[in-house]
Amino acid sequence: MLRIIKALLWGLLILGIAAAAVVFTGNAPKLFALLTGPQHGWDLSKKAPDPDYAKAAFWAALPGQQSLALMVPEGVAASPGAARPSVFFVHPTGHLHGGDWNSPLDPNSRTEENTKWMMANQASVFSSCCDIYAPRYREASIYRYIAAPEDIGQKAMDFAYTDVVRAFENFLARIGPDAPFILASHSQGTTHGFRLLAERVDGTALAERMIAAYLIGSKVKEAEAAALKTVKVCDAADQTGCLIHYAAFGPKGNPDETMDGLVCVNPLNWRKDGGPAEAQTHKGAVLPSGRFQNAFFTKDIATGVVFGPLGKPLPGLASARCDKGLLWVSEQTHPQLKALVVRGDNYHGLEYPLFHMDLRLNAAARIAAFANARGRPQP
């Protein structure tokens, strides 16, 4: 009994010291991460085995199998399957658990349920136009961003990227040597997606087959995009072979200096550094299905999230403008959209759902332009 009391007292003392540190340093997120994140260094023995992308189980979306990426908003027509180009979609961070620096690829986990959320609410913008391929990969944990030593943080990302590369190679083999394709991603997925674009597509024959790269919601710098050999930043709604990126904030946004100098293509007018676009040009948000969840204080075990159908698009909700590399968006008041806004009026979680119909219709426009330029039948 005395031992238990002593342990409790030590625990209270540690929490008191932690609370004092938060008050005096304002470093709450980092301290929280240090207390709840991985308690070990880089350890390959803790990693899941290499995913085998020849097997359907390692794809969150794959043509011919059921996936939440196939969802279509109410009242929106899905196109027939003939002559559809393919999308390679790299999902963002869903592993919000401190077990390791990379996802264990557990199919019965909250991490997997978050991957399904991304299929339903992000990858689904391509459901009408395209065959969607989205690999499950050993993504870097959220703790890579807020608690990892620099060397471990980079190792976690490099480790995840090896999966993305192998999945992309399998994707290319599946679609054939001449088929056109779209690259798409969000957040961590965009970090990997841009690296893939730079290392595997830009300056190669694959660049001629790429309809567009929707690499959204990361920190793609103007200088990095300018260094690409053949792929340019998109500056028109029907331009092909180009790159789209934006990082969104609300009117009270407070971005830090790491957000300086980003590529910004306005998804309401599709212009690079696009000026103000009024709300009447907004094609429509689609409210998110299901629930995105964390596992900070619990085991990473599935909770049985239910994903209902996507509702009707809600047009005219957002005006937007690019300014100094960031997309500044009018205030969003719908409760389901506000729930995705994070600290600092950061609209990171809205970058797909808020512009769902704008992305959906634009992908169709670029596909048609690509087909016309090459004399191919339009899907």
Domain ranges of the chain: 18-75+83-373
Phi/psi at 22 (5° precision): -65, -45
Which pLDDT value is given to residue 30?
60
User: pTM value?
Assistant: 0.91
**Are 138 and 160 spatial neighbours (Cβ–Cβ below 8 Å)?**
yes
Q: Is the dihedral of CA 116, 121, 122, 123 positive or negative?
A: positive
What confidence tens digit (pLDDT) does each residue in 43-82 have?
898 899 999 999 999 999 999 999 999 999 999 987 765 6
User: Do strands 320-323 and 86-90 pair parallel, antiparallel, or not at all (unpaired)?
Assistant: unpaired
The Cα–Cα gap between 171 and 173 comes to 5
> What are the strands of the beta sheet with 320-323, ordered from one edge?
248-249, 326-329, 320-323
What confidence tens digit (pLDDT) does each residue in 164-214 have?
999 999 999 999 999 999 999 999 999 999 999 999 999 999 999 999 999
Triad 291, 167, 216: Cα angle to 5°: 50
The Cα–Cα gap between 188 and 180 comes to 24
Higher model confidence: residue 178 or residue 19?
A: 178
